[in-house]
């Protein structure tokens, strides 16, 4: 079954829309604090649409990194987000640390955002890997 022209041409647009939404959700979540998990799922849905309409190989080319490598990168980022806690010798792993750089507004940056980014990449990688192995069949 060949996907229709409409689906094929709109899939790239859909992908970027979904990625944009997923980044917004990554930063804001369901209810203010970040949502790496749900953001990753939304981005993975975008990749899934792309893979269904243009095939598995095209989706892999578009991702550049292998989904498993994406998952590994996410795990590494999430694990690293806990390390700054050790700057304070009494604090345990994953203790939050915050910075408030002044760029016009007070920008609250913290290790939780880094953690969410890691979760985002991990979920994106895992779900994409599973979906692509289903598309293969």
Partner 1 sequence: METILALAIGVLTGSGIWLLLRPRTFQVIIGLSLLSYAVNLFIFSTGGLRTGAAPILERGEAGSLAQYADPVPQALVLTAIVISFATTALFLVVMLAARGLTGSDHVDGKEQDS
Partner 2 sequence: MQPLLASPLLIPLATAAMTALLWSRPVAQRVASVAGAAALSIATILLLLEVAGGPPLVGRMGNWPAPFGIVLVVDTFSAIMLAIAGLKALAVAVYILGSGRASRDRRGLHPLFHGLLFGVCGAFATGDLFNLYVWFEVMLIASFGLLVLDGTRDQVEGGIKYVALNLIGTSFFLIAVGLLYGLTGTLNLADLARTVPTVGNQGAVAAIGLLILVAFGAKAAVFPLFSWLPAAYHTASMPVAAIFAALLTKVGVYAIIRVFTLVFGYDTGFFGPMLTVVAMATMVTGVLGAAAHYDVRRILSFHIISQIGYMLVGVALMTPLALAGSILYIVHHIVVKANLFLIAGAIKREGGSFALGRLGGLWAAKPLLGLMFLIPALSLAGLPPLSGFWGKLAVIRAGLEAEAWLLAGVALIVGLLTLFSMVKIWNEAFWKPQPNPHPVIPLGRMARFGTYAPIAVLCVLTMTIGLWTEPFAALSVAAAEGLLDHDAYIAAVLGPVQAATLTETTP
Q: Which residues of this protein are in contact with partner 2, per CB under 8 A?
A: 66, 68-69, 71-76, 79, 82, 85-86, 89-96
Kindly tell me which of 15 and 63 has the beta carbon lying closer to partner 2.
63
CB under 5 to 8 A by kind: which of partner 1, partner 2, none does 127 bind?
Answer: partner 1
Check residue 79 for interaction with partner 1 (CB under 8 A): no
Question: Could you tell me the smallest distance in angstroms from the CB atom of residue 1 to partner 2?
Answer: 26
Which residue from 124, 135, 117, 14 is spatially nearest to 70, judged by alpha carbons?
124
Q: What is the dihedral of CA 53, 58, 62, 68, to 10 degrees?
A: 100
Kindly tell me which of 64 and 137 has the beta carbon lying closer to partner 1.
137
Q: Which two structure tokens, joined as six digits, stand for 21?
A: 């939404």
Encoded one letter per residue, x for contact with partner 1 by CB under 8 A and - for no contact, window 33-72 reads ----x-----------------------------------
């Amino acid at each position: 079954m060949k996907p229709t022209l409409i689906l094929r041409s709109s899939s790239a647009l859909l992908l970027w829309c979904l990625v944009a939404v997923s980044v917004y959700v990554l930063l804001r979540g369901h209810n203010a604090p970040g949502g790496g998990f749900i953001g990753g799922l939304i981005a993975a849905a975008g990749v899934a649409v792309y893979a269904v309409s243009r095939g598995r190989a095209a989706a892999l080319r578009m991702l550049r990194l292998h989904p498993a490598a994406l998952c590994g990168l996410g795990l590494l980022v999430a694990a690293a987000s806990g390390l700054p806690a050790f700057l304070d010798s009494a604090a345990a792993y994953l203790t939050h640390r915050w910075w408030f750089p002044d760029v016009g507004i007070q920008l609250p940056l913290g290790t939780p955002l880094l953690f969410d980014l890691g979760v985002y990449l991990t979920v994106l990688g895992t779900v994409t890997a599973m979906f692509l192995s289903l598309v293969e069949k």
